Copies of this chain bind each other. A is one copy, B any other.
Amino acid sequence: MRKVKNIIPEVVVRRLPRYFRLLSELEREGKDRISSSVISKRLNITASQVRQDFSHFGAFGLQGYGYDVNFLKEEIKNILGLDKEYNVVIIGAGNIGKALANYKKFNNQGINITAVFDIQTKNIELPNGLEVSHIDTFSDFAKNNKVDIAVITTQGEAVEDLAKTIKECSIPAIWNFSHFYIQSDEKTAVENINLNESMFTLIYLLNNLENK
Contact = CB atoms under 8 A, between A and B. Distances in A.
A96 B101 CA distance: 11
Interface string A167-197: 0000011010001010111111111011111
Contact of A198 (B99, B175, B205): B175
A173 B207 CA distance: 9
Nearest to A79: B204
Contacts of A185: 212
Contacts of A212: 184-186
B183 A44 contact: yes
Interface stretch (A9-17, A58-66, A115-123, A137-145): A9-17
Given A14-B197, A95-B99, A96-B99, A209 B172 contact: yes
A13 B198 CA distance: 11
Interface stretch (A30-38, A47-55, A103-111): A103-111
Interface string A77-91: 001111010100000
Given A86-B203, A173-B202, A209 B197 contact: no
Interface residues of A, number: 65
A16 B149 CA distance: 29
B96 A199 contact: no
B175 A199 contact: yes
A111 B199 contact: yes
A20 interface: yes
Interface of A: 6-8, 13-14, 16-18, 20-21, 43-44, 79-82, 84, 86, 94-96, 98-100, 102-103, 105-106, 111, 148-149, 172-173, 175, 179, 181, 183-191, 193-212
